[in-house]
Structure 1
Amino acid sequence: MKSWLVRQTFCGIATAAIFVAVSSPSFAGLFKVTITNNAPTGGAALAPVWVGFHDGTFDTYDGGSPASSSLESLAEDGNVSGISADFAAQQSNGVQGTLATLPPPPIQPGQSVTQSFLLSAGGNNSFFSYASMVLPSNDFFVANRNPQAHDISALFGTSGSITFDIGLPGTVNDAGTEVEDYNTSAANGLFGLPGGQGGPNIGANQSDVITNVIGPNPLGALNFPGNLDLSAFDFNNAALYPNGIATVTISAVPEPTSLGLFGFGLVSAGVYFRRRSQAS
């Protein structure tokens, strides 16, 4: 009877440790966000990507409506300060940050950036949003229109992470805040293209609304001079961009206490069964 009780106790500890380490559905803890540019060589890049964890009410944009001044700055200049300030004002318990390469030129094809975020218990930060300017362009951007599109509760499935693609064909947006012209296309020099703006908010306002960029050759409207090959920038080509412009992966980083309990359970169970084997 005693042997049976001891065996059940150790097995219970090991099982509980595994359950706590893998299955605990708490939104408090450390979460790692990784963004990888999927574009072909010489293709589209992303300006620094703003991300935020929130309560499901933070709205980055509404299709068919005029862009806010904050979104205009992001879409035209890659400037995230406006959307960051909006988020801080609306989400008192929200957690946000900006993912960028070092030094901070755009996230180019094949590059990945990673940042960790600490979410506190009771912060109500179970939803994830993102926004970034697409380059080269003068006012194209990617962002999630639905503030509840990405619920990190899915992290507590079998994989411990969630992955989704952004900038899929037909989902890149035109902010409608600037007349299409290569001379106001930011960061042209990074792509070997002429022109480019010398300061923020350069170019005439288009006085339009946010729409999806549809059809082939999405940069054709920018009227790049000469015979420049823009084919690698055709992010609406599913053959070139089958996984969109980039992939986002959000992973839960196991807590040290959970890992310790998990290890203790395994070691304890191992010691018991080793002693039992020796006694036999």
Structure 2
Amino acid sequence: MRAVLAVLLSVVLVGCSAAKASVSGDDLIVVGVKADQPGLGFREGGVFRGFEVDVGTYIARQIGASRVEFREVRSDDRERKLAGRDVDLVLASYSITPDRAKLVTFGGPYYVAHQDIMVRRGDSRIRSVRDLAGRRMCQASGSVSTDRVVKGLSIPASLVPGSSYSDCVAKLRGGVVDAVSTGDLVLAGFAARDLEIVNAPFTDERYGVGLRKGDVDGCEAVNRALTTMYQDGTAGELLRKWFGKSGITLVEEVPQFEGCS
């Protein structure tokens, strides 16, 4: 009898452990976002603001959280902070790639951005991705955007390292680099009088919601939340709120999801 009870108890404990393995249904959800990307994730006066902050809040509420907190992540530490349980979800211009999908489970994408190029206003030398050949392009730490240019398209740009996209933009303003290339939503947040987007998109960047590897239940819950977000009009409202004046073309239809695995 004791042996049977022990087996039953172990089954219950395993079941509880499996349930807790998913972020879905947690009362508190911690969302990792960028702190230095205007329009997407930006910390000002100790408060995080931006499209990804609003989307993260929406998702967390939809999947059961009564409390939502935000913590900063960088492009080069997103996987580590998920695995270490510093954050539960990551929305940080996190492009879905096969290599990254080996380390995390992706919900979404919640938006398909288009990679474009930012230059100093009036610089007519760079009008398309091919014009990056021989030019100095900033490579943000942990980002895959420059690989799409140099490796994917075999364009021999000269890469200059930057710690983040805000650092890359500072280098562009200072004349250290000739261009910054990444998703148009990222670039739109930095666009200003002295900088312009070339508006010559050349590939897609599928921005996913990062979850801990294997959290299929959480991923499916995130995808249901994203579907609702587009169907009830919230996605369009948020896109127009943060990027409506940028001049880039905004897509308000629900993206095709990758599928949870």
> Do these two structures clear the TM 0.5 threshold for a shared fold by scoring above it?
no
**Higher helix content, 1 or 2:** 2
Larger radius of gyration: 1
TM-score for the superposition, normalised by structure 2: 0.32
